[in-house]
Amino acid sequence: MLTFHNVCLAPSSFQLTGIPGLESLHIWLSIPFSSMYLVAVVGNATILAVVRVEHSLHQPMYFFLCMLAIIDLVLSTSTMPKLLGIFWFGAGDIGLDACLAQMFLIHCFATVESGIFLAMAFDRYVAICNPLHHTTVLTHTMVGRLGMAALCRGVLYIGPLPLMIRLRLPLYKTRVISHSYCEHMAVVTLTCGDSRINNIYGLSIGFLVLILDSMAITASYVMIFRTVIGLSTPEARLKTLGTCGSHICAILIFYVPIAVSSLIHQFGHQVPPPIHTLLANFYLLIPPILNPIVYAVRTKQIRERLLQILKTETKIK
């Protein structure tokens, strides 16, 4: 590791601190975090398995749900094993390239998830506002293209972030990152160089993804609600809105923690650092945990298939 004027370093690795300020509680914190990670993995793997074996679920809505499950598995797995390693073994050391790769995975797949929610909103809009054209518009090929478009957008938007850090900001004030994973701003604040371009680019991407996606989703649901209000009977309205219930819950689960975390980061200067870090981790864990639960509870086909599997296993035992 090289030093520059005994102030700035060119480190080959960083040291993640886990939850700063709560180091003495790391072993206890590992219990809820490991439990939540296990629930997230089992829940999303179950959704993938159920949709795969149940042919009646081979529809656009459930294909998008499978994409969400894969994304949630990537998001949780990109951070939780390392965090648990810090909690259990104090293994906070992470190579520079591994740190940038983790940063890319986190921000890229969060962007992809937002894109999938937008695609799901489009699916619900066509299904409710133009039901006769749903099967011709949302074909399997179109679903695949929408998923690929969300992935390509995530790679295109987030790919420059680690590259700009690697090429433009090689020197750092310290190699200690007061965080549990390599989040973009946590790394950029340690650099010695001019990070304004990185900050502007990061904020611009946040605006493009979160603000514009949420506005487009809101617009689609405004049109959906207008169509639902025009239905003849209250029963028809409730049944139609019921098909959107799981999607609305999943959207709130995804966007609300991001909004709360962003507001606290910008304005909550009196909030202790451990709270910031805990919220950042919950933001990556809450959607992977709750999405499978929401869809299993609110979606009749998934719920019935799960009950059927459980009954079969009980009979075998």
Q: What is the DSSP letter of 173?
A: S
What is the rounded distance in angstroms from the CA atom of residue 73 to the CA atom of residue 152? 18
**Crossing angle of the two packed helices 234-267 and 96-129, in degrees rounded to 10:** 150
8 A C-beta contact, residue 131 and residue 90: no
Confidence at residue 4, expressed as pLDDT on a 0 to 100 scale: 46
Residue 243: the pLDDT is 73
DSSP per-residue letters across 78-113: TTHHHHHHHHHH---EEEHHHHHHHHHHHHHHHHHH
Q: How far apart are CA 9 and CA 18, in angstroms?
A: 22
pTM, rounded to two decimals: 0.92
Q: Is residue 62 part of a domain?
A: yes
- The count of domains in the chain is 1
Task: Give pLDDT tens digits for 265-280.
Answer: 666 667 787 888 888 8
pLDDT on residue 230: 81
**How far, in Å, CA of 116 to CA of 64, rounded?**
7
Domain for residue 8, yes or no?
no
* pLDDT value at residue 238: 80
State residue 244's pLDDT score: 83
Task: Examine residue 29 and state whether it is found in any structural domain, yes or no.
Answer: yes
- The bridge status of strand 13-16 relative to strand 93-95 is antiparallel
- Domain containing 219: what range? 14-315
Residue 2 forms part of a structural domain: no
pLDDT at 3: 46
Which SS3 state, helix, strand or coil, does residue 6 take? coil
Judge whether 285 lies within some domain: yes
State the pLDDT at residue 16.
Answer: 96
Q: What is the CATH number of the domain that holds 88?
A: 1.20.1070.10
- The answer to the question of residue 7 being in a domain is no
Mark the ranges of the chain whose per-residue pLDDT is less than 50. 1-5
